Structure 1
Amino acid sequence: MQKNEKQVIAVLAAAIAVVAVILIAMLVTSRDTTDNESASTSLKNAVQEETNNKKNNEGKDVGDGNVADSTDDNTTEAQTTTEASDSDTKSASEIMDADDGYVFPDADTEYISKSDIKKLSDSELQYAVNEIYARHGLKFTKKVNKERFEKKAWYNGTVDDQDSISLNKYEKKNVDTMAAELKKRGLR
Structure 2
Amino acid sequence: MKQKKNTDNVKNNGTYIEDASETVAVSETTGQNSALSSTNIIAPAVCKAYYRAGQVRLIAHIVPGDHGTNTKKLTVNIFCRNLDFKHAWNLLMEADMYYQPDIQEYTLNGTDGGGNMKTYVLRFTADNAFTLEGEGAETGDYCDWITWNNQLILPDSLGRLLNETDLAGLDQKTLRLLRNQFYATYGRKFQDDELKTYFEGTDWYRGLVEPEDFDEEALTILEKKNLEFVKNAEAHFDEKKVQEYREAYNQLPAAPYLKLLPYTQVIGMKFGQNAVDKGIYYCVQGTISLPVTISEEQHRKMELGERVEVTVNTLTRETAFLEKLNEGSYFNYQIALQTGSQGSGAELIRVHLDEGAYDGGYTVSQNMLGMIMKPVYKGDIYVLKGADTGTGYQFDDLADGTGTCQKIEFHGNSSAEYEGNRLIRDQKGYVKGIYYFKN
TM range (shorter): 0.3 to 0.5
| Structure 1 or 2: more helix by fraction | 1
Normalised to the residue count of structure 2, the TM-score between the two structures is 0.20
Structure scoring higher RCO (CA < 8 A, sep ≥ 6) equals 1
What is the TM-score when the length of structure 1 is the normalising length? Answer: 0.44
